[in-house]
């Protein structure tokens, strides 16, 4: 049997590939526009299928042809592009995700692990608490990307309840690291890449609220998180959706200080803000709203965690090597 990753040449997908290959899994990468640069060191070890999640029959055909039993659904239009092209966002993020669930129903997949986002929670003032959990009904902001993620969660639960499709949603605090340099968190990753090259950088205003509780997982560790979620025993899964982030948050101040520790002499320009930017206010973490991720570790028994200093060291080494 094999596993399939939609969007498998993207940032998270490429590191999930690495994690699965280390476990000797047969990996099928299903991607509409493959980014071969992200998989160049292992492309010959996976089966690459150029396919679109908007095409249900193509997905079903690929699953059957390669005897896929687990799908990791990562393909999506991200935050900034969703705002600029809401029709494309709805087509890919909504219809495409329902197609993945329907493919699971049609072929009898063992499990579908899919991505949701902390962006579903919206602004901090929507809650009477400084930290939100899976029990809090998301106050979705007026944002296309966030809306598509809420819809994915609803359909994921419906396909499980109505049709018995074993969906498992991971509502990510966020990820950072090599592989994506555009978009909201992409600016964060580009800063680290430039520092690894010895360039001077400026911390983006979106990440300059010093009290922001960031539970962002380093992308290499997130690959292991997804791999674990795809193989964990079904009896451990108490819910079909989990908040996923680091056990403890770090702040932008922690990140900048650790960068300077790892890279002495690094030139980082920072102007700290008294309040988050308007854009950051729509995303848990940068907005100041914390996200309780304890159930993922307690229910599923996941033991890994990201160490900030080690993660920065790995990111710098990865960027320099490339």
Domain ranges for the chain:
2-175+218-246+292-300, 176-213+248-288+306-321
Same topology, domains 2-175+218-246+292-300 and 176-213+248-288+306-321? Answer is no
Q: Which of 129-149 are b and which e, b meaning 16 or more Cβ less than 10 Å from the residue's Cβ?
A: eeebebebebebbebbbbbbb
Residues 250 and 256: their CA atoms lie apart, in Å, by 10
**Per-residue model confidence as pLDDT tens digits over 283-306:** 899 999 999 999 999 999 999 888
Alpha-carbon distances of 198 from 164, 254, 273, 276, rounded to whole Å = 52, 20, 26, 28
**Per-residue model confidence as pLDDT tens digits over 98-131:** 999 999 999 999 999 999 999 999 999 999 999 9
Residue 141: pLDDT band (50, 70, 90) is confident
- Assigned CATH topology for domain 2-175+218-246+292-300: Rossmann fold (3.40.50)
Architecture of domain 176-213+248-288+306-321: Alpha-Beta Complex (3.90)
Residue 142: pLDDT band (50, 70, 90) is confident
User: What is the token pair recorded at 70?
Assistant: 């687990």
**Per-residue model confidence as pLDDT tens digits over 165-189:** 999 999 999 999 999 898 888 888 9
Residues 4 and 7: their CA atoms lie apart, in Å, by 10
pLDDT at residue 282 in the model: 86
Residues 124 and 289: their CA atoms lie apart, in Å, by 5
Q: Are 4 and 114 in contact (CB under 8 A)?
A: no
Mapping DSSP to helix (H, G, I), strand (E, B) and coil, where does residue 190 land? helix
Secondary structure percentages of the chain, helix, strand, coil, to 5: 45, 15, 40
CB atoms within 10 A of CB 150: 18
pLDDT at residue 107 in the model: 98
Q: Give, as one character, the DSSP assignment of residue 250.
A: B
Residues 185 and 182: their CA atoms lie apart, in Å, by 7
Residues 144 and 314: their CA atoms lie apart, in Å, by 33
Residues 213 and 285: their CA atoms lie apart, in Å, by 5
**Per-residue model confidence as pLDDT tens digits over 217-253:** 999 999 999 999 999 999 999 999 999 999 999 999 9
Residue 270: pLDDT band (50, 70, 90) is very high
């Amino acid at each position: 049997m094999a596993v399939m990753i939609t969007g498998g040449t993207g940032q998270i997908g490429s590191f999930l590939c690495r994690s699965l290959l280390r476990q000797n899994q047969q990996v099928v990468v299903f991607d509409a526009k493959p980014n071969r640069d992200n998989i160049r060191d292992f492309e010959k070890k996976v089966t690459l299928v150029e396919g679109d999640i908007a095409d249900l029959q193509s997905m079903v055909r690929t699953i059957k042809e390669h005897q896929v039993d687990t799908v990791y659904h990562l393909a999506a239009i991200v935050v900034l592009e969703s705002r600029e092209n809401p029709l494309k966002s709805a087509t890919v993020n909504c219809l495409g995700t329902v197609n993945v669930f329907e493919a699971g129903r049609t072929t009898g997949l063992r499990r579908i692990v899919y991505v949701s986002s902390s962006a579903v929670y919206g602004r901090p003032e929507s809650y009477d608490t400084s930290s939100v959990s899976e029990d809090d009904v998301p106050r979705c902001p007026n944002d296309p990307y966030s809306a598509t993620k809420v819809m994915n969660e609803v359909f994921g639960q419906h396909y499980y309840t109505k049709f018995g499709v074993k969906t498992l949603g991971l509502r990510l605090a966020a990820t950072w690291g090599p592989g994506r340099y555009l978009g909201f968190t992409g600016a964060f990753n580009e800063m680290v890449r430039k520092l690894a090259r010895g360039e001077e950088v400026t911390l983006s205003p979106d990440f300059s609220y010093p009290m922001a509780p960031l539970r962002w997982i380093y992308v290499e560790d997130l690959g292991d998180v997804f791999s674990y979620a795809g193989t964990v025993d079904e009896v451990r899964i108490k819910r079909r959706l989990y908040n996923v982030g680091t056990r403890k948050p770090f702040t932008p101040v922690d990140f900048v200080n650790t960068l300077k520790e790892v890279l002495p002499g690094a030139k980082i320009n920072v102007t700290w803000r008294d309040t988050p930017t308007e854009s950051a206010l729509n995303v848990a973490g940068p907005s100041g709203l914390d996200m309780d991720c304890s159930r993922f570790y307690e229910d599923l028994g996941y033991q890994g965690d990201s160490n900030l200093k080690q993660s920065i060291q790995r990111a710098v080494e990865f960027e320099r090597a490339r």
